[in-house]
Amino acid sequence: MKGKRTDTSRREFLLTAAAGTAALGLTRMTGAADDKTARIPRRVLGKTGVEVSILGFGGGSRLTMSKDEEAAALLERAVASGVTYFDTSSTYGPDRRSEKVYGATLPKYRKQIFLATKTGDRTYDGAMRSFDESLKCLKVDTVDLFQIHSAVPSDDLAAWDKPAGAYTALRKLKEQKATRFIGFSGHTQAETHRQVIETFDFDTVLMALNAAKHRQFGEIALPAAVKKDMGVIAMKVARDIVGSGPGQAKIGDLLASTWSLPGVAAIVSGMESIAQLDENVRLATAYVPDAVKAASLEGLSPQACWMQPGYRDECV
């Protein structure tokens, strides 16, 4: 967006766009009975009431490092396999690479998918500008979920809710039906997540949840989200703990462990190949609730290397 768009002009723009997309904003996603390609189980995303695939596609670093044709093939395969939840962010890749890759393939599937993006900005004007740019890159008129990216201990949470804050911007966008829902993400400190959950009226939360009990998110932040019936999306499910070595476990057990946590609707997974996607789809399709072998998940290594040199944003 060039310059600052007023709320009035924004509202007029959205009302015009809504003529072609109103049905999408009101449609509740259903299961395989309504979509012959859907094979992955779906769960309700908390108080949003929307059903999403338990396996979500992560648009972080692995996708941004793929060639255009490789990325397009992955996204096409994901949709055909029944993945409905697609996660991205304005911060993923140089020049919003992830959002642009999504925009090159996903708009034709808009009515079949749940599209989520994020802003790293903490100001009202900045979040509004970021949102406008996201729509442009994604080539859509609205998104299903707009989030504040990566809540950290240094965030001034009180400022989020002021007239010049990002949370105020997200609430305005939801009121204007530019986004159906609002949320936040992060994987730095569970206590910060708990404070955000208890302070604000977000619809969803994207947090680190894995069998290694990364930084106690499952013990500290997850119960607070469940209490408020928020839609919970898990990330960082495997990272360095997937494998057959000491302190590691099989990917199927790691996925099942997180799917079995209370309140978790979906796992966002960064997948860099068709083979990896197909395997995760197979595991999601075969998942049996609460059939996790606890013994296979003992002694997992803590993931202290995150955000160090060599870090990759997605996990599976």
How many residues are listed for the chain in this entry? 316
Instruction: Walk along the chain (316 residues) in steps of 10 and give the mean pLDDT of each run.
Output: 43 40 31 52 98 96 89 97 97 94 98 98 98 98 98 97 98 98 95 98 96 90 98 90 84 92 95 93 89 64 48 40
Reduce the DSSP state of residue 117 to 3 states and report it.
strand
Residue 67 burial by CB count (10 A; 0-12/13-18/19+): exposed, middle or buried?
Answer: exposed
- Beta strands 51-53 and 143-148 are unpaired
Ramachandran region of residue 263, left (φ > 0), alpha (ψ -120 to 50) or beta? left
* Phi and psi, residue 311, nearest 5°: -60, 140
Whether residue 40 contacts residue 53, with contact meaning beta carbons closer than 8 Å, is answered with yes
Please give the full DSSP string across the chain, using - where no structure is assigned: --SPPPHHHHHHHHHHHHHHHHHHHHPPP--GGG-TT--S-EEE-GGG--EEESEEEE-SHHHHTS-HHHHHHHHHHHHHHT--EEE--TTSSGGGHHHHHHHHHGGGGGGG-EEEEEE---BHHHHHHHHHHHHHHHT-S-EEEEEE----TT--HHHHTSTTBHHHHHHHHHHTTSEEEEEEEE-S-HHHHHHHHHHS--SEEEEE--TT-GGGHHHHTHHHHHHTT-EEEEE-SSGGGBSSSTT-B-HHHHHHHHHTSTTEEEEEE---SHHHHHHHHHHHHH--TT---GGGGTTPPP-TTTTSTT--S---
Rounded to two decimals, the pTM is 0.85
Which of 185, 219, 220, 222 minimizes the C-alpha distance to 202? 185
Element (H, E) at 192: helix 190-199
Q: Could you give the domains of the chain?
A: 43-297 (3.20.20.100)
Give the angle subtended at the CA of 163 by the CAs of 5 and 129, to the nearest 5°.
Answer: 30
User: Rg of the Cα trace of the chain?
Assistant: 18
Whether residue 168 contacts residue 119, with contact meaning beta carbons closer than 8 Å, is answered with no
Cα 98 to Cα 35, 89, 94, 224: the distances in Å are 26, 7, 8, 31
